[in-house]
Structure 1
Amino acid sequence: MEHSSTTTLVKALINNSTNPKLAFQLFKRTISSPLSNNLKTNINNVVITQCVPHLTNILLKANMLQELNSLHQFLLPFVPHHSCNVLYDVVRKLALFGHPKYAFLQFKSIRTRFPHKPPLVYLYNVLIKACIEHDCVDYVSLLYKDMVFSGVIPEVYTFNLLIKELCDEGRLEDARQLFDKMPEKGCFPNEFSCGILVRGYCRWGVGYKGLELLDVIREMGIFPNIVMYNTLIATFCKEGNTEEAERLVERMRVEGLAPNVVTFNSRISALCKAGKILEATRIFRDMQIDEVLGLPKPNVITFNLMLQGFCKEGMLEEANTLIESMKKEGLFMNVDSHNIWLSGLLGNGKLLEAKIILDEMEVNGVEPNIYSYNIFIDGLCKNGMLSDARKLMGLMVSSGICPDSVTYSTLLNGYCRKGKVNEAHNVLQEMTKCGCFPNSYTCNTLLHSLWKEGRFSEAEKLLQKMNERGYILDTVSCNIVVDGLCKSGKVDKAIEIVNEMWTHGKAALGNLENSFVGLVDNGNSGKKCLPDLITYTTIINALCKDGKLDEAKMKFMEMIGKHVYPDSLIYDTFLYNLCKRGKMSSAFQVLKDMEKKGCKKTLQTYNSLIIGFRAKNQMFEMNGLLAEMKDDGISPNACTYNNMISCLCEGGKTEEATSLLDDMLQKGIMPNLQSFKLLIKAFCRIGEFTPAQEVFDISLSIFGHKEALYSLMFNELLARGEAMEAKKIFEAALDRCLYLGGFLYKDLFHNLCREENAESAVNILKKMLSIGYEFDPAAFMPVIDALGKGGHKHEADELSERMLEMASEGKVANKVFFNNKQFVNGSKNKDSTSDWKSIIHRDDGSTLALRTLKRTQKGWGQGNVSSLQMQR
C-alpha cells in the first residue's frame, strides 16, 4: 500500500515538474491527507529516497529556495535516524546549485537534530568549496570545527580547499601552519597543495617564500612541477627581478622540465605590464628562432601580449609591424587580437585608424563583440565625440548586440566629463528602461557631476533613488558628498557626516536634510562604509583652504587615532598651505614628521617649499631645493621653474631668468604660457622691448596665437608708451579675430589721438566694425573728438552715428559674430557634428613645440611683429 502510494506520488511529481508550485502543493497535500496517516507517522525509506529527491530537483530548478526550506522544516521531525542522508543530499544539491547560505542553515539544523550522525567527508568538501566560491567564508571555519568535533577525517582535498581560502584572505602564516600539520592528520600534501601555497605567496608579493617552499617539498619527496615554476617566474618578472626569473628557467632545465610557451608568456606578460617592453621583445625574438635555441614557438597569446605591450607604450609602428607578421602566420583572425589593436589605437588618439579596423573586422569575417564596441565608444567619449559615440551605439544595436552596463556607464561618464549632466541623466533613465541596471560606479559618476555642477537638490534625489533601488552606497558615494559639501562651503556639515560615518556608516548621509531620512540604515552593511584616507584628505584640504590650520591638524590626529595612516599627498596639503602663508618653520616641522612616517618627498613637496621661499625672495634656498630634487631623482616641472623665474624677474635679474628658461629647454621640460608671460613682463618693465619681442615670437611658435599672449604684449607695450608697436600687435590680433576682453584698446585710441595719429585710430575702428566686433561705444569718443578738432567733421559725424547705433542696441560686449553661427570667437562650435576626415589633420602641437624648442636652444628666435600678420 505504502509502495503504490509512493509510486503514484513520484509519478505525479514528475508530471508536474514544469509547474513547481503545483508539485510542491501536491506533495504537501498528499503527505498531509487523512489517507496518509500511516505515512505521516511511519515515513519509510521508499518515500524519503524517491519523493524528496524528485521534489528537490524541481524546486531547485525553479529557484524556489523558501519552499525548499519549508520542505526541510516539514520533514525534519519525521525523518528517522537511519534516513537523514536524504536530507544531507538536499544540502549537497543546494551547495552545488550555488546556495551555500541555505545549504549551511539546513546542514546546521540536521546536525542539531542528529548530532551523532555526521555526513561523509564528501559533503563537508562540497559545502566548504561552495562557501569559498560564493564569499560565505565565515561558514568555512564552522564547518571545519564540526568536522573535527565529529571525528570525520579530512582528506587532502579538504586541506587544499582550506589552504586556498587562507591564502585568498592573505593569512599566509595560517595557511603554512595548516600545510605543515597535514602529515599529523594522516594527510600528506600533494602537488596541488604545494601549488596553492606557492601561488598564495606570489599573489601577496612574497615570492621568495614560495621559492624556499620548493626546497622544503623536495625533502618531502614532492618534485616541483612546471606550474609552480611558471607562477614564480611570472612573479619575479613582475617585481623586476629578471635575474631570479632567468635562474629559475635554468633550474627547470636542470631538473628535466622543459620551459613551455606558458613559461615564456608569463615572463613576457609580466615584463610588458612593468613597462619593460625591450626585455620582453628580446625574449619574443628568441622564441621566433626556436630552431636554433630549442625554445617553444610563440602562439597567438604570445603575439597578443606583445601587441598589448607595444600599444601600452605607444609604440604603434612596432605594433603595426607585429600585426603584419601575425597576418602572414594567420594569427590575426580572432576578435581578441583586434580588440587589443583597437584599444591601442584609441588610447593613442588614432580614431580614424581605429574606425578603419572596426570596418575591416566584418569584411574579414571577424564579428565585433560588445567589448569591441565598448572600447570604441570609450575612445570616442574621451575625445569628446559624444554624438559619434551615440551613433556607434545605434550601429551596435542594429548589429544585434545589446548595450550593457559598461556601454551606458562609458557614455554617461563622457557626458559628465563635458558637464552635460542632463544628457547623462537621460542616459541613466534609458539604461534602466532597457533593463540594464546601473551599478554603483555609474551612479557615483553622475552623483559626482551633480555636486560638481552645484546641483545639490538633484544630487540628494539621486542618493535617495540609489538607496531605494538597492544600489550600494559605499565609501566612494560618501566621499563624493563630503567633497561636494566642502566645495560648496559647507565644511562643518561635511565634518558632521564624517563623524557619523564611524558610527552609522552610509546612514550618515541621512544627516544631510530631512529628505534623507530614507537613507538611514541601521544594518550591518552600513557600518562597513567607513571614512578612508581620501575622506580625511578632502576635509583637511578644505580646512586648510579656509585658513583653519589648527582644526586641520586636529583632524589629522583623529585620522591617525582611527588607524587611517597618512600618505605624501596629505602632508603636501599641509605644506602647500603653510608655505603659501609664509609659515616656513611650521612647514619644516611637517616635513620632518613626513620623513619620520616614511612618506617620500614628491614634486609637490618641493614646489610648495619653493613657493614659500619665493615669497621671501630667498633665491639661494630655492637653488638648494632644485639641487636636492636632482639628488632625489625628482624632475622639476614648469611650475618649479616658473616660481624661480618669477623670483628673478621681480628682482630685475632678467638674464638669470632667461638662463633658467634655457635650462628648462635643454632638460626637455615643456614651458607653459606663464613661463613666457613672466619674461615678457620683466623685459617690458625695464624697457628692453627687443628681447621681449623675441620671447613673444617664441611663445607664439610653441603655443599658437593665444589671446592671452597678444593681450599681454599689447598692454605692456601700451603701458610703456610704445603705442605704435602696440598698434601692430592689436592689428595682428584683429586679423585672427581674437577675443578682445583682455585688451586695453580704449587706451590705444586715446594714445593715438593724443599723438595726432587719429587716422590710424579711425582705420582700426573701421577694421573692427568690418570684421564684426561689438565693443564698448566709449571707444569712439577720443577718435570723434580728434577728428572734430582736425576739421574732419564728416568722418566724425559718421562715427558718432555708428556709436549711437551701437549704444542704442546695447552692444557693449567684446565678441565676434559671423553670419555662420557655427563660429563664435573665431573657433568652431563644440556642439557641431564631428567630421572623421578632420581627425587626419588634427595635430596636438607637440611636433611643432619640439621643433621650436630645438630652435630656441640655439638663440632667442627670429622675426618681428610683421611676421604675425595673417597670410592672405
Structure 2
Amino acid sequence: MGEQAGKKLIKALLKNSQNPALAWQIFTRIASSSHHPTSILPSIPHITRILVAAKMFPQIHFLTNLLLVNTQSSSSSYTYLLTLVRIIANAGHLDKAIPHFRAFRNRFPAEPPSISFYNMLIHASLDQNNPDFVSWLYQDLILAGVSPQTYTFNLFIAGLCDSGRLEDARNLFDRMPEKGCLPNEFTFGILIGGYCRNGHANKGVELLDYMESIGVAANVVIFNTLVSRFCKDGKTDEAEKLVERMRLAGINPNVVTFNSRISALCSSGKILEASRIFRDMQIDKELGLPQPNNVTYNLMLQGFYTQGMLQEASALVDSMKTNGIFTQLESYNIWLLGLVRNGKLLETQSVLNEMVDKCIGPNIVSYNIVIDGLCKNGMLSDARTVMGLMKSNGVTPDTVTYSSLLHGYCKKEKVGEATKILHEMIKGGCFPNTYTCNILLHSLWGQGKIAEAEKLLQKMNERGYRVDTVTCNIVIEGLCKSGKVDKAIDIVNGMWTHGSAALGELGNLYIGLVDDDNNTNAIKCKPDLVTYSTLINTLCKEGRLDEAKKKFIEMMKKKLYPDSLLYNIFVHSFCKIGKLSSAFRVLKDMEEKGCGKNLVTYNSLICGLGKKGQIFEMYGLMDEMKERGVSPTVATYNNLISCLCENERAEDAINLLDEMLLKGLSPNISSFQYLMSAFCKVGEFVPAREVFSISLSIVGHKEILYSLLFNGLLAKEEVLEAKDLFEAAVERSLDIGSFLYKDLIDGLCKNEFIDLASDILQKMINKGYSFDHASFVPVIDGLSKRGKKLEADELAERMLEMASEVKVTNKVCADARVYEKSKKYRESDWKTIVHRDDGSGTTLKTLRRVQKGWGQGSISSFQPPKTDYLDVWDG
C-alpha cells in the first residue's frame, strides 16, 4: 500500500514539475497524511529538483528536517540526505547545500559518506570559489577516517594553486605517499601549472625532473605549459630547450606547442622570432612540424598589427584568403581591430562590406570595433553612419556601442549631442551601466562642472549603479586637478574602510552608506595603483614630496606594488628640483623591483643632468638608451641640445641636430630655438642663419624663429640684415609683437637710412598692421632734418590717425587682427613721445597742433613759441 502511494506521488510531482508551488502543496499534503513515512522517501529527489529549479530553499529545509526525524528507516534517510545535498551542490548552489551536509554529519557522525561524495563536494567548492569549505571538508575527511584518493589530492592541490597558496600545495603533494597515494601525471601537471601561472617556471622544471626520476612520464600538456611560461617571460632559450627535450622524450610538439610559443612571443613584442617559427611550420614538413591552423594564423595577424607591421599583415590576409582559411568571424574581427588601431579607418568600410558579401555577417563586436575607432579619432558623423548600417543589417546597438559614441561626443565637449545619445540609448531599451556613467562623470570633471558631477554621483547612487574603483578614481583625479588634493586624500583614506561610500565626503551624497559595513559593493571598492599614482603625482607637482613619500609607503603596506609609471613620477620630481642623488636612489629601487627604465625615465634623468651641466653623464645615458633599444625622442635630444647650448657648446649641439635628421626624427621649434639663441648670443650669425634656413623647411615660417634671429641681429647692430629679415616677416603677415621693430627703425635713422626706415613703416601700414605709433617719430624727425617736410607731414598725420584709433587695443597684429591691449599701453602713449630727450621739434609741433585742433595750417608753417613747449611739457 505504501509503495503504491509513493509511485502515485512521484507521478503527480512529475506532472506538476512546471508548477513548483502546486507540486510542493501535493507533497506536503501527502507527507502529513501518510501512515507510512518511508513511502514518500523515493519522491525526495524529484521534489528536491523541482524546488531547486524554483529556488524554493526554505522548503528544502523542511525536507531535511523530515529526513532527520525519520527514525523508522535511518539507512534510507542517510541515502536520501546525501542525494539531496548532491542535487543542490551540482545545481550550483553549494552555499545552500553546506548547511544540509553539516546537518547530515551531525545526524550520522559515525557514518561518513564515500570518498567519491567528498570528491564531488570538493570539486563543487572549487568551481564555485568556496576555499573555506574545501578546508573544512579536508579536516572532516581526515577525522572521519576516509582514505583519500589521488584524485582527491589532485582536487585539493588545484584549489590551493588557484588561490596562490603554492607552498601549501607543495606540502600536500609531498605528504601524498603518507596517505597511501602516489602522484600521477595529472598531479604533476596541476602543480607545474600552478608554478607557471605564478611566475615560477623554474620550479616547474625542477618538478618535471623529479617526475621523470620516479618514472612518471610527462605529457604534452605539461611541456606546453612550461614552454608557454618561458616564452611569456622572454626566456626563449629555455623554451627551445624544452621543445628539444620533448622530442628526446618521444613526445612530438603539436600545434598547441607552437601556438603557445607564437602567442607568447607576439605578446612580448618579439614578432620576428614568432615569424620564424611560423615560417618553419609552413615549409619544414619533412621535420614533422605541425601545420599552422586558424589559431596560428590569427595569432600572427594580431601580432603584425600590434607591432604596426601593416605590409606583413596585409600579405598574411591575402595568403589566408588564397588558402581558403580566411573564413572565420574571429579572423575578420582581428583584421578590423588591426586596421582601426593603425589608423586605417577608411579601409574598415570595405572590410564590413566584404563580410556581408561573403555571408560572414558582422556581429556586434565587429561594428563596435569600427565605431569605437571612429569615435576615438573624432570621426563622429562616420560613426553614426556605421551605426545606421549595423541597424539596417539587423544588429541592435548595445551599451558598448552607445558608450563609444558618448565618449566621442564628451571628448569633443559636445554636451548637447552626448545628451541626445543618452536619450536615444535609453529609448532603445539599452540602459546605461557604470562604465557609461563613468564616461559622463569624467567629462563633467574635465570641464570643471563639479556641481553637475556631484549630481550625477547622487543619481548613480539612487538608481543602484555600482560605483566602482574607476568611478572613485575619476572623482579623485577631478579633485586633484581642481586643487583639492587634501579632500582627495580624505576620500582615499575612507575607501579602505567604507569603499565607495567614502564619496560621502563630497557633499554627503553617500552619507547613508558611510556606516553601512554590509554594503559589499562599497567595501569591495578599494584604492588601486591608479588611485595612488594620481595622489602622488599631484603631491609631487605641488612640491609636497615628503607627503608623497608617505603615501608611497602606505601603498606598499597595503600590498599595492609600484610600476614604472609611479617610479617615474618620483624620478621626474627629484630631477626637476635638482636632487639627482635622490632620483638615482629611486632608480636603484625601481630596478631592484623589476621595473625597467623606459623613455620617460631616461628623459627625466637627462633633463636633471642637463640642469646640473653634467654633459658627459647625459651622453652616457643616451648610449645606454640605444643599447637597451629605447629610441630617443625629440624631447630627449632637445634636453641635450639645450644643455650644450647653455654651456656654450653649440657646435656639438649641431651634431645632435644632424643625428636627429639622419634618424628620421623631425626637430621641433624648440630644437631650432635653442641653437639659434646660442649662436646669436655670441654673434655667430653664419651658423645661426644656416639653422634658420633648415628650420624653414621643417617647421615652416614661425614668428618666434624670425623674431629670435631678428632681435639677435639687432643686438649686434647688424641693422641691414635685420631689416631684410623683418621685411620678409611683414611680407608673410607674421605677428610682429615680439620683434624689436622700433629699435630697427631707430637704428636705420641713426645710420642715415631714413628712406629704408620710411619704407618699412609704409609696408607695415599697407599690410594692415596696427603698431606702436611712436615708431614714426625718428623717421619724421629724420625727414624734417633733410627738408622733406611734405613726407614728414604725411607721416605725422598718419601717426595721429593711428593714435586716435587706439583707444581700447594697441597690441601689434597682422592683417587687421587686433589683440587686447596690455595694461601698460592703456595709459597715454603720448607720454612716451613727449618724454623723448632728442630735441624733436616736429613732435612738439604735432602735439601743439593736436591741442589747437585740425585746420590750423600745415605742420611745417607752425612755429610755436618756446613757452608753449614748456606748457606742454608741464602738462
TM-score normalized by structure 1? 0.79
1:462 aligns with 2:456: yes
Q: What CA distance in whole angstroms lies between the structure 1 residues aligned with 2:654 and 2:16? A: 91
**TM-aligned CA distance change 1:214 to 1:585, over 3 Å:** closer
Asked if 1 retains the 8 angstrom alpha-carbon contact of 2:733 and 2:814, the reply is no
Task: Give the secondary-structure state (helix, strand or coil) at the position aligned to 2:217.
Answer: coil
Aligned residues: 796
**TM-aligned CA distance change 1:598 to 1:60, over 3 Å:** closer
Task: Give the secondary-structure state (helix, strand or coil) at the position aligned to 2:175.
Answer: helix
Q: 2:137 is matched by which residue type in structure 1?
A: L
Q: 1:348 is matched by which residue type in structure 2?
A: N
Asked if 2 retains the 8 angstrom alpha-carbon contact of 1:753 and 1:782, the reply is no
Asked if 1 retains the 8 angstrom alpha-carbon contact of 2:327 and 2:360, the reply is yes
Residue matched to 1:845: none
Residue matched to 2:532: 536
Find the partner of 1:103 among 81, 97, 115.
Answer: 97
Q: What CA distance in whole angstroms lies between the structure 2 residues aligned with 1:697 and 1:43? A: 108
Residue matched to 1:839: none
Asked if 1 retains the 8 angstrom alpha-carbon contact of 2:122 and 2:137, the reply is yes
Residue matched to 1:852: none
1:54 aligns with 2:38: no
Deviation at 1:331, TM superposition (A): 0.8
Find the partner of 1:523 among 499, 518, 523.
Answer: 518
Structure 1 unaligned blocks of 5 or more: 735-739, 769-774, 819-872
Residue matched to 2:441: 447
Q: Which string of whole-angstrom CA distances, capped at 9 and with x for unpartnered residues, describes residues 30-72 of structure 1?
A: 25xxxx6443xx562332322x43333334444x244555555
Q: How does 1:588-667 map to 2 (within 5 A)?
A: 603-617=599-613, 619=615, 622-623=618-619, 626=622, 636-666=632-662
1:204 aligns with 2:184: no
Identity of aligned residues (%): 54
Q: How does 1:343-742 map to 2 (within 5 A)?
A: 343-420=337-414, 423-424=417-418, 427=421, 430-431=424-425, 434-436=428-430, 440-520=434-514, 521-523=516-518, 525=520, 526-566=522-562, 569-584=565-580, 603-617=599-613, 619=615, 622-623=618-619, 626=622, 636-666=632-662, 670-704=666-700, 722-733=722-733, 740=735
Q: 1:397 is matched by which residue type in structure 2?
A: K
1:165 aligns with 2:172: no
Q: What CA distance in whole angstroms lies between the structure 2 residues aligned with 1:61 and 1:816? A: 80
Q: Which string of whole-angstrom CA distances, capped at 9 and with x for unpartnered residues, describes residues 804-863 of structure 1?
A: 89989x999979999xxxxxxxxxxxxxxxxxxxxxxxxxxxxxxxxxxxxxxxxxxxxx
Residue matched to 1:265: 259
Q: Which string of whole-angstrom CA distances, capped at 9 and with x for unpartnered residues, describes residues 397-426 of structure 1?
A: 332223334334433444444445665566
**Greater length-normalized contact order (CA 8 Å, ≥ 6 residues apart):** 1
- Which structure has the greater CA radius of gyration? 2
Asked if 2 retains the 8 angstrom alpha-carbon contact of 1:451 and 1:459, the reply is yes
Residue matched to 1:822: none
Deviation at 1:379, TM superposition (A): 2.1
**TM-aligned CA distance change 1:761 to 1:416, over 3 Å:** same
Task: Give the secondary-structure state (helix, strand or coil) at the position aligned to 2:400.
Answer: helix
Q: Which string of whole-angstrom CA distances, capped at 9 and with x for unpartnered residues, describes residues 460-502 of structure 1?
A: 3333344445544444433333222222111221222233333
Q: What CA distance in whole angstroms lies between the structure 2 residues aligned with 1:465 and 1:76? A: 50
Deviation at 1:167, TM superposition (A): 1.7
**TM-aligned CA distance change 1:748 to 1:76, over 3 Å:** farther
**TM-aligned CA distance change 1:763 to 1:68, over 3 Å:** farther
Task: Give the secondary-structure state (helix, strand or coil) at the position aligned to 1:725.
Answer: helix
**TM-aligned CA distance change 1:415 to 1:55, over 3 Å:** farther
Q: What CA distance in whole angstroms lies between the structure 1 residues aligned with 2:317 and 2:387? A: 27
Q: Which string of whole-angstrom CA distances, capped at 9 and with x for unpartnered residues, describes residues 555-610 of structure 1?
A: 44444555555555445434433443344565566567667777655554554444
Asked if 1 retains the 8 angstrom alpha-carbon contact of 2:704 and 2:738, the reply is no
Q: What CA distance in whole angstroms lies between the structure 1 residues aligned with 2:380 and 2:816? A: 26
Q: Which string of whole-angstrom CA distances, capped at 9 and with x for unpartnered residues, describes residues 495-519 of structure 1?
A: 2223333333333222232223144
Task: Give the secondary-structure state (helix, strand or coil) at the position aligned to 1:366.
Answer: coil
Q: What CA distance in whole angstroms lies between the structure 2 residues aligned with 1:672 and 1:294? A: 55
Q: What CA distance in whole angstroms lies between the structure 2 residues aligned with 1:643 and 1:108? A: 71
Asked if 1 retains the 8 angstrom alpha-carbon contact of 2:6 and 2:42, the reply is no
Q: 1:19 is matched by which residue type in structure 2?
A: N
Residue matched to 1:737: none
Asked if 1 retains the 8 angstrom alpha-carbon contact of 2:12 and 2:23, the reply is yes
Q: What CA distance in whole angstroms lies between the structure 1 residues aligned with 2:237 and 2:213? A: 25
Q: What CA distance in whole angstroms lies between the structure 2 residues aligned with 1:358 and 1:752? A: 68
**TM-aligned CA distance change 1:188 to 1:407, over 3 Å:** farther
Moved more, 454-463 or 352-361: 454-463
Residue matched to 1:850: none
Q: What CA distance in whole angstroms lies between the structure 2 residues aligned with 1:76 and 1:426? A: 61
**TM-aligned CA distance change 1:386 to 1:22, over 3 Å:** farther
Asked if 2 retains the 8 angstrom alpha-carbon contact of 1:160 and 1:192, the reply is yes
Q: 1:108 is matched by which residue type in structure 2?
A: R
**TM-aligned CA distance change 1:46 to 1:404, over 3 Å:** farther
**TM-aligned CA distance change 1:13 to 1:426, over 3 Å:** farther
Deviation at 1:375, TM superposition (A): 1.9
**TM-aligned CA distance change 1:607 to 1:271, over 3 Å:** closer
Deviation at 1:203, TM superposition (A): 1.9
Task: Give the secondary-structure state (helix, strand or coil) at the position aligned to 2:234.
Answer: coil
Q: What CA distance in whole angstroms lies between the structure 1 residues aligned with 2:732 and 2:814? A: 17
Asked if 2 retains the 8 angstrom alpha-carbon contact of 1:226 and 1:257, the reply is yes
Q: 2:674 is matched by which residue type in structure 1?
A: L
Residue matched to 1:17: 17
Asked if 1 retains the 8 angstrom alpha-carbon contact of 2:51 and 2:60, the reply is no
Asked if 1 retains the 8 angstrom alpha-carbon contact of 2:189 and 2:222, the reply is yes
Q: What CA distance in whole angstroms lies between the structure 1 residues aligned with 2:815 and 2:98? A: 74
Q: What CA distance in whole angstroms lies between the structure 1 residues aligned with 2:85 and 2:445? A: 49
Q: What CA distance in whole angstroms lies between the structure 2 residues aligned with 1:247 and 1:623? A: 39
Q: What CA distance in whole angstroms lies between the structure 1 residues aligned with 2:494 and 2:582? A: 31
Q: 2:668 is matched by which residue type in structure 1?
A: N
Q: Which string of whole-angstrom CA distances, capped at 9 and with x for unpartnered residues, describes residues 360-407 of structure 1?
A: 111122211222222212322232212222322232233222333433
Q: What CA distance in whole angstroms lies between the structure 1 residues aligned with 2:394 and 2:814? A: 48
Task: Give the secondary-structure state (helix, strand or coil) at the position aligned to 1:516.
Answer: coil
**TM-aligned CA distance change 1:231 to 1:432, over 3 Å:** farther
Residue matched to 1:216: 210
Q: What CA distance in whole angstroms lies between the structure 2 residues aligned with 1:338 and 1:443? A: 31
Find the partner of 1:125 among 114, 119, 123.
Answer: 119
Q: What CA distance in whole angstroms lies between the structure 2 residues aligned with 1:597 and 1:271? A: 23
Q: 1:662 is matched by which residue type in structure 2?
A: D
Task: Give the secondary-structure state (helix, strand or coil) at the position aligned to 1:515.
Answer: coil
Find the partner of 2:240 among 239, 242, 246.
Answer: 246
**TM-aligned CA distance change 1:555 to 1:652, over 3 Å:** same
Q: What CA distance in whole angstroms lies between the structure 2 residues aligned with 1:690 and 1:165? A: 76
Structure 2 unaligned blocks of 5 or more: 818-875
Q: What CA distance in whole angstroms lies between the structure 2 residues aligned with 1:43 and 1:511? A: 65
Task: Give the secondary-structure state (helix, strand or coil) at the position aligned to 2:692.
Answer: helix
Asked if 2 retains the 8 angstrom alpha-carbon contact of 1:579 and 1:608, the reply is yes
Moved more, 221-230 or 152-161: 152-161
1:306 aligns with 2:316: no
**TM-aligned CA distance change 1:746 to 1:580, over 3 Å:** same
Q: What CA distance in whole angstroms lies between the structure 2 residues aligned with 1:134 and 1:120? A: 21
**TM-aligned CA distance change 1:197 to 1:490, over 3 Å:** same
